[in-house]
């Protein structure tokens, strides 16, 4: 995350300013608002007040110099108010990690539970598992905070889309699919934060979804993340890159979002006001803070040369909506920027208010946390037996069975092995004795490890080890391949544990090849040729690997992919191989052939294929070429079938605000919410009444094999032909649910396909539309057609009114509302006559339900009302302003309730 080399000038300036910066503790050593402290009687310490009021009071008491020292991750204290320094940067990607300076292992906390790397738990396709992992991590993190060895703000999860198979950080993500990534994001955030709406929005931990947005290149060829300008279409932003972040905020209610190093369409994300203020805080309603990836402000000044001066850079970040800088830049340059009037004190105040409010939600201004709801957590709650078993279960659920050759006798697959029939097993390969390699990156110090060799040894009479490769690189002529071949020749079965590690794929390190490193493939083939028994290939990696040679080799009986399976990975591998656990994982990313790389430069951000240029497209949604293994692939030791129990054949999309009223034909035509996209009739999502608009799908899953097993029902959507105005996905996963089914049993799975989210299509301008016509839902071997229609617009609705104040007018109404009334341009304003009024309307934006902040700003609106967002003579009513007209008017707009 952090750049280790800062420009000399910045270091010198930071050193010169060090006398001004009070040292920050790794966690609080003194507790704000503790009894007897200097500020106990002040309003910001009164827990009966609203959090935002407390935060504003606190900030109002600070000097400018004190405020700017709170704009960085290593925030200074304010001793005169009893507030200690605080380190904001802690990590908890898949367990409490000491990657950031906020966490320190040692003493009473020598380690923490190391769950599988995210790409592996994503393969489980189990949202309940994801949330429970978050809960376990939050217990251990809170315990370490209480012990003074961690903070409470954790910059996790990473929900970037795994767009390119070479990306070194793809391992940290939930994969290539927006639906899986969105559900993972919300589930893990809920688990970490354990937000209590009934107790003033309090948090157990504060999560942070990163890295917004279109960040999926670290260092490839001559391009690195510090200099990369991602050229991204509005269409791809809307239906791919931004989707998980929207879910983080809207569904997970996360407390923070991190902006990324890269530029998007020429603007650094951490200086992009349309992204930070407009999208994250405005459209999505973030109630929290926005933080930079470490040294991003420095990067867009020194590396990207986005601004002319350092003061301009600080001002650009703060004006855009950045609240916290990971790095010293804002602490050094914000005061000069304010002095030169490049940024205002109000911008600084807003940033500090946003961060302090999160601290207050965490209870950090409520005195000693030992008296709080999580004060009982301590060393006894870290590395518990329950968490160790849970880490093992998480690893098992993420194992993907890629291949399982049939037995020559008695039917069934080679796996699972019978321990009684395979008394001697050779365990070879560079990962046979893996420990730290099993946890991937952004990990802490694990409680303990079980290696693959140890796991296998627990099942058989004799486990024989011969590495075959000295390390994962497996380079040069001196590799001990012969010893591994000899071990395989003498054993009843051979397990080869191969793959990648952080020296091949990592932060700052993208791959140039999808093949196994060095001589690994040679080792595997030689062992397979020599082995007298079945050969099981186990692959440990974060990214996909071209293993066509092994897939096509009948001597390699079975292949497992285990991601980076965490501290209990060796036991999970053995449990699957010997049948203690029936694998049910599914690949969360496409496994491409090596040749794919030749056609898809990593710098090309386009998701959709371009046949004219030979560009193949990205991910299963847009790529239709050959694969080694497709997205969603994963076998089992049993067999499942699907029967569609219920799903409607037709569904009507209701328009927001217009189902029962009548009005003039002219106005009705102006409010016609259907449009045409790509030659097909479609309804803008903004014009549809989305609440409760879903397709119920009930599927009976039958286990027709001889073993109990878990199965994920995956529902894909295909839009009507020619819809999308430039490239609807070939198919899109829109719902999934995991179920355990006993051998011979049947279980019913009920999912709801959200029409506005899952059955809409983003067109080239980034606007989502719901195509009218026949939509296909595909579940395994079942294809079901749902015909979407749209209700006929009988009028423009009801229950709207104007409030006239002299020469001014305000518009308001109840219920849902989302019509684009009319949009003029170049002075050609359209005139709408309704009732007795005549109004010139410049623009009407999409309407929405008010969130609590908007209701507070527009106090004249009753609770939960909707309103029209109009610009009349360039005055915007969304800001609660009054539009002064040349003469008083009366206007009656009708909106559906």
Q: Please name which of 552, 562, 503 lies closest in space to residue 524, comparing C-alpha atoms.
A: 552
Q: What torsion, rounded to 10 degrees, do the Cα atoms 823, 825, 828, 834 define?
A: 10
Half-sphere exposure of 394 (CA within 13 A, CB side): 34
CA distance 887 to 53: 40
Q: In the structure encoding, which two tokens stand for residue 609, read together?
A: 């294929």
Question: Is-contact 688 771, C-beta < 8 A?
Answer: no
Buried b (16+ CB within 10 A) or exposed e, 40-50: eebebbeeebe
d(CA 673, CA 822): 11
Specify the DSSP class assigned to residue 754.
Answer: E
- How far apart CA 230 and CA 163 sit, in angstroms, is 13
Residue given tokens 């300013």 in the structure block: 17
Q: Are 330 and 265 in contact (CB under 8 A)?
A: no
Which DSSP symbol is given to 117? P
Angle at 443 between CA 440 and CA 448, to 5 degrees: 90
Torsions phi, psi of 279, nearest 5? Answer: -90, -60
Cα–Cα dist 839/27, whole Å:
59
- Paired with 680 in beta bridges are 677
Tokens of 126: 């189990």
- Alpha helices per DSSP H over 607-686: 619-622, 665-670
How many other β-carbons are positioned within 10 Å of the β-carbon of residue 672? 15
* Angle 424-429-434 from CA coordinates, rounded to 5°: 100
CB 777 within 8 A of CB 758: no
Contacts of 524 by beta carbon, 8 Å cutoff, 6+ apart: 429, 496, 498, 516, 535, 537, 549, 550, 556
How would you classify residue 43: left for phi > 0, otherwise alpha for psi between -120 and 50, otherwise beta?
alpha
In this structure, are residues 599 and 614 in contact, taking their beta carbons and an 8 Å threshold? yes
Q: Which two tokens stand for residue 766?
A: 């980034």
* CA-based R_g, the chain, Å: 29
| Distance in angstroms (rounded) separating the CA atoms of residues 166 and 584 | 26
**CA distance from start to end of the chain:** 48
> What backbone torsions phi and psi does residue 803 show, to the nearest 5 degrees?
-120, 120
Q: Rounded to whole angstroms, how far apart are CA atoms 573 and 592?
A: 24
| 8-state DSSP, 848 | -
Helix, strand, coil % (nearest 5) of the chain?
30, 25, 50
As a whole number of angstroms, the distance between CA 35 and CA 207 comes to: 29
Distance CA 434, CA 570 (A): 8
Q: Look at the alpha carbons of 877, 880, 886, 888 in this order and tell me if their dihedral is positive or negative.
A: positive
- How many Å apart are CA 43 and CA 239, to the nearest integer? 45
Beta strands in 82-204 (DSSP E): 86-87
Q: How far is the C-alpha of 397 from the C-alpha of 739, rounded, in Å?
A: 12
Query: Rounded to the nearest 5 degrees, what angle is found at the Cα of 841, between the Cα atoms of 836 and 844?
Result: 120
The single residue of 293, 312, 323, 325 carrying the catalytic annotation is 293
Confirm whether 239 is a catalytic residue: no
CA 183 from centroid of its chain's CA atoms: 8
The catalytic residues are: 293
């Amino acid at each position: 995350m952090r750049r280790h080399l800062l420009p000399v000038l910045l270091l010198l300036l930071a050193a010169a300013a060090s006398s001004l910066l009070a040292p920050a503790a790794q966690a609080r050593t003194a507790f704000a608002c503790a009894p007897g402290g200097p500020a106990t009687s002040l309003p910001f310490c009164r827990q009966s007040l609203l959090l935002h009021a407390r935060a504003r009071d606190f900030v109002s008491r600070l000097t400018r110099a004190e405020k700017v020292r709170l704009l960085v991750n290593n925030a200074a204290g304010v001793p005169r108010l009893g507030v200690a320094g605080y380190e904001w940067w802690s990590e908890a990607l898949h367990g409490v990690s000491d990657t950031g300076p906020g966490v320190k292992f040692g003493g009473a906390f020598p380690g923490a539970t190391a769950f599988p790397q995210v790409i592996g738990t994503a393969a489980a396709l189990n949202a309940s598992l994801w949330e429970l992992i978050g809960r376990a991590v939050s217990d251990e993190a809170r315990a370490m905070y209480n012990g003074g060895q961690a903070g409470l703000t954790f910059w996790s999860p990473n929900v970037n889309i795994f767009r390119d198979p070479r990306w070194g950080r793809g391992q940290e993500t939930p994969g290539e699919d927006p639906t899986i990534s969105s559900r993972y994001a919300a589930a893990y955030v809920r688990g970490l934060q354990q937000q209590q709406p009934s107790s003033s929005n309090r948090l157990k931990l504060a999560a942070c979804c990163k890295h917004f947005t279109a960040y999926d290149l670290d260092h490839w060829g001559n391009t690195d993340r510090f200099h990369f300008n991602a050229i991204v279409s509005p269409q791809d932003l809307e239906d791919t890159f931004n989707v998980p972040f929207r879910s983080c905020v809207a569904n997970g209610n996360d407390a923070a979002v991190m902006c990324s190093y890269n530029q998007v369409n020429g603007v650094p994300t951490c200086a992009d006001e349309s992204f930070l203020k407009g999208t994250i805080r405005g459209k999505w309603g973030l109630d929290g803070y926005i933080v930079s990836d470490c040294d991003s402000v420095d990067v867009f000044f020194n590396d990207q040369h986005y601004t002319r001066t350092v003061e301009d850079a600080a001002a650009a970040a703060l004006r855009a909506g950045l609240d916290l800088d990971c790095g010293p830049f804002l602490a050094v340059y914000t005061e000069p920027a304010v002095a030169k009037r490049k940024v205002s004190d109000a911008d600084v105040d807003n940033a500090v208010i946003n961060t302090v409010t999160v601290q207050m939600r965490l209870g950090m201004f409520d005195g000693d946390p030992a008296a709080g709801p999580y004060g009982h957590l301590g060393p006894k709650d870290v590395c518990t037996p329950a968490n160790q078993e849970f880490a093992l279960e998480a690893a098992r659920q993420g194992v993907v069975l890629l291949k399982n050759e049939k037995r020559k006798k008695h039917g069934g697959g080679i796996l699972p092995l019978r321990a009684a029939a395979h008394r001697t097993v050779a365990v070879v390969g560079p990962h046979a004795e893996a420990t730290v390699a099993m946890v991937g990156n952004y990990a802490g110090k694990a409680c303990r490890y079980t290696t693959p060799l140890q796991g296998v040894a627990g099942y058989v009479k004799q486990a024989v080890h011969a590495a075959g490769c000295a390390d994962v690189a497996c380079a040069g002529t001196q590799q001990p391949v012969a010893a591994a071949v000899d071990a395989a020749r003498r054993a009843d079965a051979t397990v080869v544990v191969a793959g990648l590690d952080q020296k091949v794929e990592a932060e700052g390190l993208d791959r140039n090849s999808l093949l196994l490193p060095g001589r690994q493939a040679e080792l595997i083939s030689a062992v397979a040729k020599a082995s007298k028994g079945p050969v099981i290939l186990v692959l440990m990696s974060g990214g996909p690997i071209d293993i066509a040679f092994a897939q096509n080799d009948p001597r390699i009986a079975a292949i497992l992919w285990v991601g980076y399976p965490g501290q209990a990975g060796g036991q999970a591998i053995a449990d699957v191989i010997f049948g203690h656990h029936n694998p049910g994982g599914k690949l969360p990313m496409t496994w491409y052939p090596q040749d794919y790389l030749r056609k898809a430069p990593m710098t090309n951000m386009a998701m959709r294929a371009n046949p004219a240029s030979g560009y193949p497209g990205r991910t299963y949604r847009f790529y239709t070429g050959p694969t080694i293994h497709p997205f969603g692939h994963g076998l089992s030791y049993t067999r499942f079938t699907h029967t569609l129990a219920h799903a409607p054949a037709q569904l009507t999309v209701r328009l927001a605000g217009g189902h029962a009223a009548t009005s003039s034909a002219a106005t009705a035509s102006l409010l016609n919410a259907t449009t045409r996209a790509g030659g097909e009739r479609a309804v803008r999502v903004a014009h549809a009444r989305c609440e409760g608009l879903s397709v119920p799908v009930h599927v009976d899953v039958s286990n027709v094999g001889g073993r109990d097993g878990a199965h994920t029902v995956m529902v894909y959507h295909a839009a009507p032909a020619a819809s999308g105005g430039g490239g609807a996905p070939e198919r899109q996963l829109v719902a999934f649910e995991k179920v355990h089914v006993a051998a011979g049993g049947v279980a019913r799975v009920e999912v709801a396909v959200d029409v506005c989210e899952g059955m809409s299509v983003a067109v080239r301008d980034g606007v989502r539309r719901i195509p009218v016509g026949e939509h296909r839902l595909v579940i395994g071997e079942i294809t079901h057609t749902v015909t979407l229609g749209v209700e006929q617009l009988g009028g423009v609705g009801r229950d709207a009114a104007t409030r006239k104040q002299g020469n001014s007018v305000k518009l308001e109404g109840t219920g849902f509302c989302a019509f684009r009334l009319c949009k003029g341009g170049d002075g050609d304003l359209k005139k709408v006559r309704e009732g007795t009024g005549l109004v010139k309307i410049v623009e009407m934006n999409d309407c929405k339900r008010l969130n609590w902040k908007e209701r507070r700003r527009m106090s004249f609106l009753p609770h939960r009302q909707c309103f029209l967002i109009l610009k009349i003579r360039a005055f915007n009513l969304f800001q609660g302003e009054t539009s002064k007209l040349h003469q008083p008017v009366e206007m009656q707009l009708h909106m559906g309730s």
